[in-house]
């Protein structure tokens, strides 16, 4: 049986299928174009749609990083937070039973795998990108002083106005803030691994995130991994479409 996962991201939408444990990349198109083609949503009505937004009880509450989002297109469809889908894929490829997964792209997302199961809380578990860190910078969601105002794709674009290098990211003050916030999550969750993904993570290496250890007691030393698969979120959604980690 073929299961389909669709990652509706801030810029691009990826469509992936999974059959007999094998993934196939079906299509990638701009999200703005995808949202103008409701027939595509209907064509894949049995897919799991990974949405860069807040989801509770099957309802999409916020999508601050997807311009022009049309939530009505996904009414009655199987939907899941994109970072949760990444967490599912991180567990799938690493085999760790307890994972804190972080996506660094337009925004900052995170998902939790606890005892090999996706943990959603009441639906909004692990929204660290919109946790208050400090300062008075306004976030894209309308809040003030969130992590994303210090470190995110949109914050980096606002500061530099262009694509940045690995060296520039590591020298960016916001990267240190990101690592401190991830460290706090590690202290709460005590995961076996912290796994990073997303467009920004793709130009970084696991050793770049060892700064996290500077903010932890020595007893906390999760393994750090980076997944550089641009289709990771869509693949995680496809795994969920097959009933893995509890259906959404």
Domain 3-81+231-241, what fold? Nucleotidyltransferase; domain 5 (3.30.420)
Domain 85-226, what fold? Nucleotidyltransferase; domain 5 (3.30.420)
Tens digit of each residue's pLDDT (9 = 90 or more) over 158-210: 999 998 999 999 999 999 999 999 999 999 999 999 999 999 999 999 999 99
Secondary structure of 35-72 as H, E, C letters: CCCHHHHHHCCCCEEEECCEEECCEEEECCCCCCCCHH
Cβ–Cβ < 8 Å for 112, 101: yes
Query: Mean pLDDT over all residues of the chain?
Result: 94
CA 223 to chain centre: 19
What average pLDDT does this structure show over 77-84? 96
Cα–Cα distance for residue pair 181/6, rounded to 1 Å: 29
Structure tokens at 32: 């703005």
Residue 33 has pLDDT above 60, yes or no: yes
Phi/psi for 27 (5° steps) reads: -170, 150
Beta bridge partners of 8: 13, 51
Sorted by where each begins, the domain ranges of the chain are 3-81+231-241, 85-226
Among the listed residues 147, 61, 164, 79, the one whose alpha carbon sits nearest the alpha carbon of residue 110: 147
Sheet bearing 108-114, strands edge to edge: 117-119, 108-114, 99-104, 193-197, 223-226
Same fold for the domain at 3-81+231-241 and the one at 85-226? yes
Tokens 């290496």, located at residue: 205
- Counting Cβ atoms within 10 Å, is residue 49 exposed (0-12), middle (13-18) or buried (19+)? buried
Tens digit of each residue's pLDDT (9 = 90 or more) over 211-243: 999 999 999 999 999 999 999 999 999 999 998
Cα–Cα distance for residue pair 139/233, rounded to 1 Å: 24
Beta bridge partners of 80: 50
Check the CA dihedral 33-248-61-106 and report its sign.
Answer: negative
Residues 6+ apart with CB under 8 A from 33: none
Tell me, yes or no, if the pTM score tops 0.85. yes
Q: What integer pLDDT is reported at residue 192 of this predicted model?
A: 98
């Amino acid at each position: 049986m073929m299961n389909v996962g669709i990652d509706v991201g801030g810029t691009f939408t990826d469509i992936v299928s999974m059959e007999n444990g094998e993934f196939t990349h079906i299509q990638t198109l701009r999200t703005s174009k995808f949202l103008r083609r409701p027939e595509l949503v209907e064509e894949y009505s049995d897919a799991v749609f990974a949405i860069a937004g807040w989801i509770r009880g099957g309802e999409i509450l916020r999508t601050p990083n997807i311009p022009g989002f049309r939530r009505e297109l996904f009414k009655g469809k199987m939907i899941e937070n994109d970072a949760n889908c990444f967490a599912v894929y991180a567990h799938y490829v690493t085999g760790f039973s307890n994972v804190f997964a972080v996506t660094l792209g337009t925004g900052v997302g995170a998902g939790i795998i606890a005892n090999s199961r996706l943990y959603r809380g009441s639906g909004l578990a692990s929204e660290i990108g919109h946790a208050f860190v400090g300062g008075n910078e306004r976030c894209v969601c309308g809040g003030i002083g969130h992590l994303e105002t210090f470190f995110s794709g949109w914050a980096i674009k606002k500061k530099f106005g262009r694509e940045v290098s690995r060296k520039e990211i590591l020298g960016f003050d916001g990267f240190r803030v990101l690592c401190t916030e991830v460290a706090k999550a590690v202290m709460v969750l005590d995961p076996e691994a912290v796994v990073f993904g997303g467009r920004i993570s793709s130009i970084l290496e696991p050793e770049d995130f060892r700064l996290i250890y500077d903010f932890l007691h020595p007893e906390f030393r999760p393994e750090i991994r980076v997944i550089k698969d641009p289709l990771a979120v869509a693949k995680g959604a496809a795994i969920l479409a097959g009933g893995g980690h509890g259906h959404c």
